[in-house]
Chains A and B, each alone.
Chain A
Amino acid sequence: MDFLQPESWAEALAVRAAYPEALPVAGGTDVMVELNFARRRPPALLDLGRVAELADWGGEDGLLRLGAGVPYRRIVTELAGRVPGLAMAARTVGSPQIRNRGTVGGNLGSASPAGDALPPLLATGALVELASVRGVRRVPVAGFCTGPKRSVLAPDELIAAVLLPAERGPEQFAKIGTRNAMVIAVCSFALALRPADRTVGTGIGSAAPTPVRAVAAEELLAAELPWASRAELPDPLVRRFGELVAAAASPIDDVRGTAAYRRHALGVLAGRAVRRAWTEHRREGGAG
């Protein structure tokens, strides 16, 4: 097996174009498992570890640009204030070792419906920047995954970064697992409230072929939250929100959980998320 190690982004894109059959590897926390289990036998690996451009984050046109190669640990320690939902999700990933190595780019590259970074990216309306020697394009996270482990990434493309919008507000993320650490999500839920423009974003993980938004639930909250008064949340609204989130999922029975449990748990997680987020919003506004 060949091991290709470009030293720069330009070189990486050139190698990618020349050897589309070479499998990109960032942290390797998915790739190495696939190799170990003999699920994949690529002729070559394309190691992105030396590409400095991928390992940085910074501001760009009011957006936060998060390089595809920034590991979860740095998101937790450096970005918890700026992207709280993503940082909460990053905290739930694997173990310290996995958080030291694993990246959001890799999570997108794997395009697993259980990828924990994806629901908060969905909820915040993030964009994925894809690059190749042909040029650069940006696609919404919502359009990136096309099925379990499938995405719009072209054979000559690499994921450069994700771009998170400037708007800020309370965010939440929670996931269900059958042990208290190191567990693939049975289901997960992310929420982002944007009081400035009175919008709501959601993301559901592990309960459909791809991570999905709960659009009807978002619309309900956007319309009915007492944004201006910051009044207490009416219980029926919370309940209805939970129901709509559960309805937006299309879960299956598998070894990790039943479809019925996933739906139930999503409803509970959604209710808890909106209460926590709303409490934060009220606190910031001086109420409650």
Chain B
Amino acid sequence: MAGWGPGVPGPEDVVSSGPWDGVWRVGGGVGGPGNPLWAVRLDPDAGHPAPRPPVVEAGADGSAPGSQGIGTSPVRPDGALKVRGEFAFSSDLWADDMLWGATLRSPHPSATIRSVDVTAALAVPGVYAVLTSADVPGDRYYGLEVADQPVLAVDEVCYRGEPVAVVAADHPETARRAAARIVVDYAVREPVTDPEVALAAGRLVRHVPIRKGDPAAAAEVVVVGEYRVGMQDQAFLGPESGLAVPAEDGGVELYVATQWLHADQRQVAAALGLPAELVRLSLAGVGGAFGAREDLSMQVHACLLALRTGRPVKMVYGREESFVGHVHRHPAVLRYEHGATRDGELVYVRARILLDGGAYTSTTPAVVANAASLGVGPYRVPNVTVDAYGVHTNNPPCGAMRGFGAVQACFGYESQMDRLAEAVGLDPVELRVRNALAEGGTMPTGQVVRGPAPVARLLELVRDRPAPPPVGAELWQLPGGMANTTAPEQVVRGVGYAVGIKNVCFSEGFDDYATARVRLELIGGEPTALVHTAAAEVGQGLVTVQAQIARTELGVERVVVATADTAVGSAGSSSASRQTYMTGGAVRAACRAVRAALITRLAGGRAGATDDGGGRVDEGGPELAGGALRDAAGRVLGTLVDLLAAGPVEETVRWRHRPTRSLDPVTGQGDAHVQYAFAAHRATVDVDPELGLVRVVEIATAQDVGRAINPQAVVGQIQGGTAQGLGLALMEELQVVDGVIRNPSFTDYLIPTVLDVPPMAVDVLELADPDAPYGLRGVGEPPTISATPAIVAAIRAATGVPLARVPVRPEHLTGTG
């Protein structure tokens, strides 16, 4: 990428023919650095965005652009369908002659398999195939980072729920009954379920040390604490599901709900022993993801059964099965020591973070790196010693979940910051502000924070919000809600604060890119853009965002976003808060390549005067606006109708963010992250201390999003992420005892209801990141991270109970644990 600035796609990234526009105009037109920041003040009672400042995105001729470009909130195509219950999810897929797949799973967390006898299952009328690991034609192991997870158990099982065999039958009930008739002879082993024991036994997945400054630094004030985070589940509502259809060329088409079509394709093809082009994936309706669809579930199984039977095969997990069918958030034990001056200035942080990765590797290595590199939070700390470990146990596998290592660390360091504030006699916000990281500051990894880092400002924004109303008198306003437990005089109130940091995009030198194909053509005489990517719409609104970018860049109103599939290059995962940044960046680049091609076409096929010869279009060169190519003064150089009369223009661009580096394995030093994102929360809670019941009264939150491409979606992410953080604070935990999930249902895995999620006051800052498309910052994860510690801090403030574990249970508050 030499010769190209950060974030600027190099010429080698232009996959298709056609000249490359290549211009990276920071903040293109709007939202650039130096743009005044603004805040969306949400009326917590109204619950929807106040009118935002008008986006003046003047075309060169001074005309306002279309109403549906970036910075607006067009109606989502899936919105009304979902509200009406008419949206087709992956579990609704249907083919007339299809069979149903079912999975036999291990009842033991750890066992050797002596034998598997499928005879009785095959004898069940209506059964078409029963497959075990012996029937896997290609690689028998898969994995996102390390291929260590068996497609179907090979000689042993390492967690309860591990797939052992799969069945295809003409009815789902028949398939399940047949699966139950498979006889597996297990020699049960003692499971390893304690991560400390696993670490001592050498079952290490990854150790990430971070060393900065003086490891022996001493301080006047020292606080030490140990914290625990339980196993949270993503709790998506749409279970793992999909439909595999055998193809005439010997390949297979898979329609599936996933986060990353190409990662699935790579792993499925390897397991099937087929070249990737014979395994074609299309995104089916995704019923939530949050990280849980990054690893494979039924993908290979359905394809195996389809290829074996020659019939389409549908698989849909049941709810209980789903809880063992995907990875969870790593439970963690975090030990922290913070040293500070008497004035509350941090001198050092020492931390040991232990993450239970469960039976297989999944994304544990990256989660460990996040926990380590973000382990002291968004603070200036001169001396840092962090050791984060991920281990293998026989617990359910853990992997990606919104916040990805940053969530666990934040509960540790923010709990510590409150204790430190108390120890030095400072207000918790004041202590944080004194130590807040800022633009140009240095992370414990040595990485200098480029672009705005308004940590102090975010804290001040939530602190300065008016306080919510006093304790309510209605039942639903009180702890315990409608259950009639608590009267207003039995309530104490507390307020707590937290701020968090998250990396956006893939880190540590990963070759992270997204591909977009944009085609501009006349349909019915009207210029129409077709945007095609493989990026997974998982409910976050990405389809809308892609169309908005195309409208802004191409100056057309009609945009069609094609279904995501593997007919176009990889978009990378809808994770790491990266997809608007990455696929948004790719769509923008592809649109600009289209513009460059039009400029060439305008110049009669020769490179135009504004083309600098390197495929780049200069700032101030022709723009697409209002259906025409216009010069800087807004004069029409050529209408799209005329320019496209000769045929469509199509460009495909593979787009990368600026490169990152790996972390030094000994010191943990290195520019490992692309972008940092920050959010702060203030939580106000009412607690009934005698019963240990909590009601969150209000949450004020502030986040810098760089540029709100779709303000409504931004606010939705902030509200949803905060609710998920609330869940971890108060109720969401998979209770795993001896490797067995005790509460695999929504009866006992509780997620917040409308009576648990309070009104939220949201401040959105738009401080452009000079490296990012439009200056945007990933928004999906930060709100989840600091919501949890803010709520726990508020409960501590209300009750004085030194809570050190989430979720907080009534037992912890009443000493009856």
Chain B residues with CB below 8 A from A257, complex form:
809-811
Q: Is A233 an interface residue (CB 8 A)?
A: no
Chain A residues with CB below 8 A from B479, complex form:
180
User: Bound complex: CA of A92 vs CA of B481, how far in Å?
Assistant: 9
Provide 20 A-B residue pairs closer than 8 Å at the C-beta atoms, listed in order of the A residue.
A33-B747, A91-B484, A95-B753, A173-B484, A176-B693, A178-B750, A179-B730, A179-B731, A180-B481, A180-B483, A180-B695, A181-B753, A186-B810, A255-B735, A255-B743, A258-B811, A258-B816, A260-B817, A264-B816, A272-B485
Given contacts A37-B318, A174-B484, A257-B811, A183 and B750 within 8 Å (CB-CB): yes
Chain B residues with CB below 8 A from A213, complex form:
none
Interface class of chain A by DSSP: mixed
Q: Is B220 an interface residue (CB 8 A)?
A: no
User: Bound complex: CA of A267 vs CA of B710, how far in Å?
Assistant: 52
Q: Number of contact residues on B: which range applies? A: 35 or more
Chain B residues with CB below 8 A from A182, complex form:
753
Which residues of chain B from 686 to 700 have any CB-CB distance to chain A below 8 Å in the complex? 690-693, 695
Among A92, A172, A178, A272, max chain B CB count under 10 A is at A178
Residue on A with the closest CB to B733?
A: A255
Q: Is B482 an interface residue (CB 8 A)?
A: yes
Contact assessment for A180 and B482 in the assembled complex, using a CB-CB cutoff below 8 Å:
yes
Contact assessment for A180 and B318 in the assembled complex, using a CB-CB cutoff below 8 Å:
no
Least CB distance from B10 to A in Å reads: 51
Chain A residues with CB below 8 A from B693, complex form:
176
Chain A residues with CB below 8 A from B810, complex form:
176, 178, 186, 257, 261, 265
Q: Is A268 an interface residue (CB 8 A)?
A: yes
Contact assessment for A269 and B811 in the assembled complex, using a CB-CB cutoff below 8 Å:
no
- The 10 residue pairs across chains A and B that have the minimum distance between CB atoms: A180-B481, A261-B816, A260-B816, A181-B755, A180-B755, A174-B484, A255-B743, A175-B483, A261-B811, A181-B753
Least CB distance from A243 to B in Å reads: 15
| From B483, B755, B814, B817, contact of A174 by CB (8 A) | B483
User: Bound complex: CA of A174 vs CA of B490, how far in Å?
Assistant: 15
| From B176, B476, B809, contact of A38 by CB (8 A) | B176
Q: Is B76 an interface residue (CB 8 A)?
A: no
Chain B residues with CB below 8 A from A140, complex form:
none
Contact assessment for B747 and A184 in the assembled complex, using a CB-CB cutoff below 8 Å:
yes
Chain B residues with CB below 8 A from A175, complex form:
483-485
Least CB distance from B220 to A in Å reads: 41
Contact assessment for B753 and A92 in the assembled complex, using a CB-CB cutoff below 8 Å:
no
Chain A residues with CB below 8 A from B816, complex form:
258, 260-261, 263-264
Q: Is B465 an interface residue (CB 8 A)?
A: no
Which residues of chain B from 669 to 716 have any CB-CB distance to chain A below 8 Å in the complex? 690-693, 695
Contact assessment for B482 and A91 in the assembled complex, using a CB-CB cutoff below 8 Å:
yes
Least CB distance from B280 to A in Å reads: 33
Contact assessment for B484 and A37 in the assembled complex, using a CB-CB cutoff below 8 Å:
no
| From A36, A183, A261, A263, contact of B692 by CB (8 A) | A261
Given contacts A180-B695, A268-B690, A258 and B817 within 8 Å (CB-CB): yes
| From B690, B745, B756, B814, contact of A179 by CB (8 A) | B756
Contact assessment for A181 and B756 in the assembled complex, using a CB-CB cutoff below 8 Å:
yes
Among B480, B484, B693, max chain A CB count under 10 A is at B484
Q: Is A256 an interface residue (CB 8 A)?
A: yes
What 0/1 pattern do residues 249 to 263 of A give for CB contact below 8 A with B? 000000111101101
Least CB distance from A156 to B in Å reads: 29
Which residues of chain B from 291 to 327 have any CB-CB distance to chain A below 8 Å in the complex? 318-320
Least CB distance from B481 to A in Å reads: 3
Q: Is B214 an interface residue (CB 8 A)?
A: no
Contact assessment for A255 and B814 in the assembled complex, using a CB-CB cutoff below 8 Å:
no
| A interface residue numbers (CB < 8 A to B) | 33, 36-38, 88, 91-92, 95, 172-186, 255-258, 260-261, 263-265, 268-269, 272
Least CB distance from B772 to A in Å reads: 38
Given contacts A173-B484, A256-B748, A268-B690, A261 and B814 within 8 Å (CB-CB): yes
Chain A residues with CB below 8 A from B319, complex form:
36-37
Chain A residues with CB below 8 A from B745, complex form:
37
Chain B residues with CB below 8 A from A38, complex form:
176, 318
User: Bound complex: CA of A180 vs CA of B752, how far in Å?
Assistant: 8
User: Bound complex: CA of A88 vs CA of B176, how far in Å?
Assistant: 42
Residue on A with the closest CB to B741?
A: A255
Q: Is B742 an interface residue (CB 8 A)?
A: yes
Least CB distance from A40 to B in Å reads: 13
User: Bound complex: CA of A186 vs CA of B481, how far in Å?
Assistant: 14
Residue on A with the closest CB to B750?
A: A179
User: Bound complex: CA of A265 vs CA of B809, how far in Å?
Assistant: 13
Contact assessment for A88 and B756 in the assembled complex, using a CB-CB cutoff below 8 Å:
no
Contact assessment for B482 and A181 in the assembled complex, using a CB-CB cutoff below 8 Å:
yes
Given contacts A38-B318, A255-B743, A176 and B484 within 8 Å (CB-CB): no
Least CB distance from A176 to B in Å reads: 6
Least CB distance from A72 to B in Å reads: 12
**Sample of 9 further A-B pairs with CB below 8 A, known A175-B485, A177-B480, A180-B476:** A36-B319, A92-B482, A176-B691, A179-B481, A180-B479, A180-B481, A261-B811, A264-B814, A265-B691
Contact assessment for B692 and A179 in the assembled complex, using a CB-CB cutoff below 8 Å:
no
Least CB distance from B814 to A in Å reads: 6
Residue on B with the closest CB to A254?
A: B742
What 0/1 pattern do residues 8 to 52 of B give for CB contact below 8 A with A? 000000000000000000000000000000000000000000000
Chain A residues with CB below 8 A from B476, complex form:
180-181
Residue on A with the closest CB to B477?
A: A180
Given contacts A179-B731, A181-B756, A92 and B483 within 8 Å (CB-CB): yes
User: Bound complex: CA of A78 vs CA of B487, how far in Å?
Assistant: 25
Chain B residues with CB below 8 A from A92, complex form:
482-484
User: Bound complex: CA of A36 vs CA of B748, how far in Å?
Assistant: 16
Residue on B with the closest CB to A95?
A: B753
Contact assessment for A176 and B752 in the assembled complex, using a CB-CB cutoff below 8 Å:
no
Contact assessment for B811 and A179 in the assembled complex, using a CB-CB cutoff below 8 Å:
no
User: Bound complex: CA of A184 vs CA of B747, how far in Å?
Assistant: 7
User: Bound complex: CA of A95 vs CA of B320, how far in Å?
Assistant: 22
Least CB distance from A29 to B in Å reads: 12
